[in-house]
Chains A and B, each alone.
Chain A
Amino acid sequence: MSVRRLAWVVLRDVNRTLGGGIASMELLRRSAAKEGWFDERGHAVLTAVSRLTPGTNVLAYCVGLGWLVRGWIGAIVALIASSVPAAVFIAALAATLVRIDRYPIVRVIIAVGVLAATVLVASSAWHLMRPYLNRQSASRAAIIAGVVAAMSWLDVTPVRIFLVCAAIGALIGMPADAEAPAADS
């Protein structure tokens, strides 16, 4: 399998979705099955790894995919193909926004857009939390949410909040028969 083919598949599948990482990973799963890179089990392992890797899930998925297909070179190529095109587009859009920010109509559009972005972030939070809102995990989710609310109110930094929550999570443990839920992006 050529590195060029890997780069093209990753670039095409990751940079044509607006629905976040889950949509991209689904497209990559289909492409990988078609190309014969890995089966359903391979996809499941990559999905779990992408959830455990800090940062953006779909980028971790691409790195893992590239590594499975062509080792470290594949991992680097897949990472570049999945992130650089979107980054260039975003930087160009941000630069444009700075230049046209002074026009009234643009400010109205931005104001509406910011409200829309708030809804999008709320949606991300919901997708992250939804897998845990079941009978098995609800009490754990409530405890963690309470701890986060209290520590945020006390202006504790997010890193410290994560460390405390990880410790609490390890102390509480997993509910019996719990499966690893899917995550957003």
Chain B
Amino acid sequence: MSAFALYVLLLKATATSFAGMGSLPQIRQDLVVTAHAITDEQLSQAVLVGRSTPGPVGAYVVAVGYFAGGVRGAIAGLLAVMTPALAAVPLLVLMRRWLHVPRVRAAVDAVVMASAALLVVSVLRMANDGIQQFARVVGWM
């Protein structure tokens, strides 16, 4: 997979989530299930690496990019994490005009709730994978 294609897929995940780990379900769908660019185990390792270091939680996408495409993949991951943040400026300008509209706030809240619920689904899959991996390692030793 080219670095640009990886960037597009990772950007799709980061730009449609509203929290650092919120991109996890989409990344799994695109890179593990559809493209087979990384495995579930590598995705879990990327989360582990991302959460083991200081800094933004969403930067785990850099590790995902590295596992999928080496250094170029890591750069693609970094750019995918950085790009959506630039939307903060126009939002800052628009916010005073629209955020007081209850239905707009309700729609945003619903997306945040959906993001949390999808994370729970991911947790169940990660837990299953983690337990299997642990059992394999223990059995192997």
B99 / chain A contacts, CB cutoff of 8 Å: 48, 52, 180
Q: Is the CB of B123 within 8 A of A125?
A: yes
Q: What's the nearest-Cβ distance from chain B to residue A108, in Å? A: 5
Is the C-beta of A8 less than 8 angstroms from some C-beta in chain B? Answer: no
Interface residue ranges of B88-141 to A (CB < 8 Å): 88-89, 91-92, 95-96, 99, 102-123, 126-127, 129-131, 133-134, 136-138, 140-141
The number of inter-chain residue pairs (CB within 8 angstroms) is: 335
**B-side interface size class:** 35 or more
* Whole-angstrom CA separation of A84 from B95 in the bound complex: 28
Of B16, B112, B117, B134, the residue contacting A112 (CB under 8 A) is B134
Q: Is the CB of A185 within 8 A of B21?
A: yes
The 8 A CB mask of B26-45 against A (1 = contact, 0 = none) is 10010000000000010011
Of A17, A60, A110, the residue contacting B48 (CB under 8 A) is A110
Of A82, A128, A166, which is in contact with the most chain B CB atoms at under 10 Å from its CB?
A128
Q: Is the CB of B110 within 8 A of A83?
A: no
Tell me the dominant secondary structure on chain B's binding face.
Answer: helix
Is the C-beta of A183 less than 8 angstroms from some C-beta in chain B? Answer: yes
Is the C-beta of B3 less than 8 angstroms from some C-beta in chain A? Answer: no
Of A82, A132, A167, the residue contacting B56 (CB under 8 A) is A82
Of A15, A51, A80, A161, the residue contacting B55 (CB under 8 A) is A15
* Whole-angstrom CA separation of A61 from B56 in the bound complex: 11
Q: Is the CB of B121 within 8 A of A152?
A: yes
Interface residue ranges of B49-89 to A (CB < 8 Å): 49-60, 62-63, 66-67, 71, 74, 77-78, 81-89
B129 / chain A contacts, CB cutoff of 8 Å: 114
Is the C-beta of A33 less than 8 angstroms from some C-beta in chain B? Answer: no
B117 / chain A contacts, CB cutoff of 8 Å: 125, 129, 144-145, 148-149
B74 / chain A contacts, CB cutoff of 8 Å: 87, 90-91, 94
Q: Is the CB of B86 within 8 A of A57?
A: no
Residues of B that sit less than 8 Å from A by CB: 12-26, 29, 41, 44-60, 62-63, 66-67, 71, 74, 77-78, 81-89, 91-92, 95-96, 99, 102-123, 126-127, 129-131, 133-134, 136-138, 140-141
Residues of A that sit less than 8 Å from B by CB: 14-18, 20-21, 24, 45-46, 48-64, 67-68, 72, 75, 79-80, 82-87, 89-91, 93-95, 97-98, 104, 107-108, 110-118, 120-122, 124-126, 128-129, 132, 137, 140-141, 144-145, 147-149, 152, 157-159, 161-162, 165-170, 172-174, 180-181, 183-185
